[in-house]
Each structure stands twice: as structure tokens, then as C-alpha cells.
Amino acid sequence: MYLLWLRVAEILYAAAALAALPAVLYGMERWRRFAVPVATLAFIFHFVSVVETLGMAHRWVPVGIRESESMMGLVVAGLFLVIWRFYRTFSFGIFALPAAFFLVLAPALGPDGYAFPSTGVKHGWLVVHIALLVAAFVALGFSVIASGFYLLQEKYLKAKMKPGGPKWWVPLDWLPPLDTLERIAHLMLMIGFPCMTVGLMIGSLLAQEKVGPSYFLDPKVGASFVMWGVFVMLLFLRRSAGLRGKRAAYLSGAVFIAMILVWAANVVSQVHKFGAQ
């Protein structure tokens, strides 16, 4: 029964993680009210699964990478709930709940993992995975371009206000207003983020079929999750700290560079060569 409890916990972690995104990024209180009890219920089922697993094995510590990942996911979820209980802050949920979901994913699939019913189905999901991540890259690229235009337009307008006006500037009347560029940059981030999130979820399922739970040790997988975290931080700062204009443009550029480095990590990745096999 331990595997059943773990799978129920994984489904609940997924629901809580998805609810945490609008709760934190957009301040939607109803999603927070949904996420906290669901995460608590997931933790309870997860705890029962871990206790039953260790009890059946007559030991007190996890053995193997699957049990270790499950235990780590339990600790992450537990610490998040402790923070929520004592400090009533939900912000950590945007990182803790997805982390718990991804850590429990491979153990919840069972000792044999998940096998796609056919090569065609696997390749279909691979195409979706690649398409979503490419869409995320393209959306972030447009965000960076809009941010670059923002910096250029801002500098041009400041120079134009000086006596004598700009002399070496090319005509920039074709650029949209600063507010429009800011809204376009933010919209592109909002489009790219869900694409990246779903793409990583599908990629995790594809990767674990080939190498099991040890896919977390792959450099590109680790870099991808770090990149996702940076993306979340960018959106969070734009909302909570009112990050706009020049600082937002520089940060968007830094995220784009991070995404390029993740693609470069494919050279030393073993997991991400499965698409060619």
C-alpha cells in the first residue's frame, strides 16, 4: 500500500504546486486557501508511505536513491508547512511544492519506473517537451528584445530632453512607448513561464524512463531546474518589488543568458541524448 499512498501524495503535491503559482505570483488568495490544505494532505499521505516503507524493511533510514529522494521530498514539504504554520508566509511554496513534486515523481512511479506504451507515444511526448521549451525560449527572447528596446527608447528620450537634442541617434520614432514595451516584456514572460513549467514536467517523465531517479544528477537537468527557479524569481520580483524598467530589462537579459548556458550544458549531458536513440 505504500506505493498507493505515495502516488496519492504525488497527485496532491502536483495540485498544490500548480495552485502555488497564481497564489504567489498574482496574489490570488483563493488559490492559497486551496494549496495549503492540499499540501498538508499530501504531506500526511507521504509520511504514511515513508513510515510503511521503512517499517516493511525493518529499518529507520532510507536506502537507495528512490527512498532518499522520497525522504528529501518529505523534508522539503514538512519544512514549508512549518514555515507556514509559524510565520504565515506562503512565498516559499512556489519553490518548495514543485521541488517536493519533482523529488517524489520517480519514487511514485514504482521500482520499475514508467515505460511508455510505444515508441510513437514516447516520441510524441518528446516533441511536446521540445516544443514547449522552444516556446519558452522564444517568449523570453522577445521579452529580452522588448527590454532592449525599452533601454534604447529611454536613453533616446532622456537625450532628447537635453539642450540641442540628440545628434548621433538614429530616428527612433518607430519604437512603441515605454509603457507598451514594458507590458510586452512582461506578457512574454507570462507566456514563457507555463511553457517552461509543463515542458520540465514532461522532460522529467521522459528522463526517468531512461535512467531512473538518478536523472537529477545530470548537469542539464539540474541547470534546467535552476533556470526555472530564476524565472520564478524574476516574475516574483516584478510583482512584489515593482521591478520595472531598466532593472527589469537587465534581469531579463541575465535569465536569457542562463537559458543559453542550459542549452550549452547539453554537450556534457547524458540524459538529454535519449532523443537521438
- CA separation (Å) from 228 to 154, 243, 255? 29, 19, 9
CB 96 within 8 A of CB 77: yes
**Is residue 101 in a domain?**
yes
Give the residue numbers spanning the domain of 201: 119-276
Asked, for residue 150, whether it belongs to a domain, the answer is yes
Regarding whether 89 and 140 lie in a shared domain, the answer is: no
Residues 48 and 167 in one domain: no
Residues 151 and 88 in one domain: no
Q: Is residue 89 part of a domain?
A: yes
pTM here is 0.79
Is there a domain that residue 114 lies in? no
pLDDT per residue as tens, the chain (277 positions): 889 999 999 999 999 999 998 888 877 899 999 999 999 999 999 999 999 999 988 888 888 888 899 999 999 999 999 999 999 999 899 899 999 998 898 889 887 766 777 888 888 988 998 899 889 888 888 888 888 888 888 777 777 656 555 555 556 677 788 888 888 888 888 888 888 888 888 888 887 777 666 666 677 777 778 778 878 877 877 776 566 666 777 777 777 777 777 666 665 555 555 444 4
